[in-house]
Amino acid sequence: MAQLELDRASLAADKPDIITATVTAFGGDTEAAHLPGYDLAVQGMSGIMHLTGEVDGRALRVGVPIVDMLTGYNTTVGVLAALHERGQTGVGRHIEVSLMDAGLAALLNHQTGVLMGGQNPGRGGNRHYSIAPYEIYTCADGDIIVAAANDKLYAGVCQVIGRPELIDDPRFVTNTIRRQNLEELNEILEPAFAANTRSHWIAKLRDEDVPCGPINSLREALDWAIDMGMEPTFTGSDDYQAVRNPVRIDGDVITEGQRPPRLGEHTDEIRAEVNTWGDRS
């Protein structure tokens, strides 16, 4: 970038209040700065994949490019913070985010345990490392998620399966104890959920305000959100359809008016603009 005079120092010399941002794989001034990096590589190197997968299985990548996404979000937050500061001070800033930093920061809870407690957790499948019951259960016609993240919600699960005596059972009376005795708890919960359908259990659990739901396909997820009035999609120019921006401002959806360009669609416009750059003073 310095050769093109697009580095921070060159740009700031002409415009001191400019805000610039750099995204790298492993930081611009580290011993690993020369290494190439993509989302998948950093999912592995940051420890994210080490935590993802079945207990006795191999490490798995997350199903979306989570490191790329987190890096983008963190860069956006940094730029917004710099814009806010510039509005007060008139000073520009340079924002730096690396894929590795974003990946490590995503593991805040786990890495704190490593740093402070000497822990080195591994894969837990669909179970939460500290909450129970908080995982997938198989019903008569498929799987559901049950996320009983506190004692009140656990009590709701006990009521739903017709076992209220489990609420005060000393083996399961607190979340910490439940997690320690999860195998025993699941010996009760698994056959209970297997005895009826997903829709049966989801309805019962929701009556007790226990967070739960099916494991939807992408099409099922969109259809459910549409049916619930969530307006998850937008239609842009040329009937282009996509998932909308998740942010609402004062209740209004942020809409994108243009679709992504087709391959080569703006080539002539860009070339024409570039050809005028040499004429600028």
Q: Output the six-digit token pair for 39.
A: 């989302």
Annotated catalytic residue 128: yes
Integer Cα distance of 147 and 215 in angstroms: 13
Integer Cα distance of 102 and 105 in angstroms: 5
Would you say 53 and 125 are in contact if contact means Cβ atoms under 8 Å apart? yes
Element containing residue 249 per DSSP (H, E): strand 248-249
Crossing angle between the packed helical segments 66-89 and 39-46, to the nearest 10 degrees = 90
- DSSP one-letter code for 206: H
C-beta atoms surrounding 42 within 10 Å? 27
Going by C-alpha positions, the residue among 132, 127, 83, 78 that lies closest to residue 105 is 78
Integer Cα distance of 132 and 96 in angstroms: 38
Integer Cα distance of 41 and 273 in angstroms: 37
Q: What angle do CA 126, 56, 180 make, to 5 degrees?
A: 60
Q: Output the six-digit token pair for 181.
A: 């005795």
Integer Cα distance of 281 and 276 in angstroms: 11
- DSSP one-letter code for 258: S
Catalytic residue, chosen from 34, 50, 110, 128, is 128
Q: Which residues form the catalytic set?
A: 128
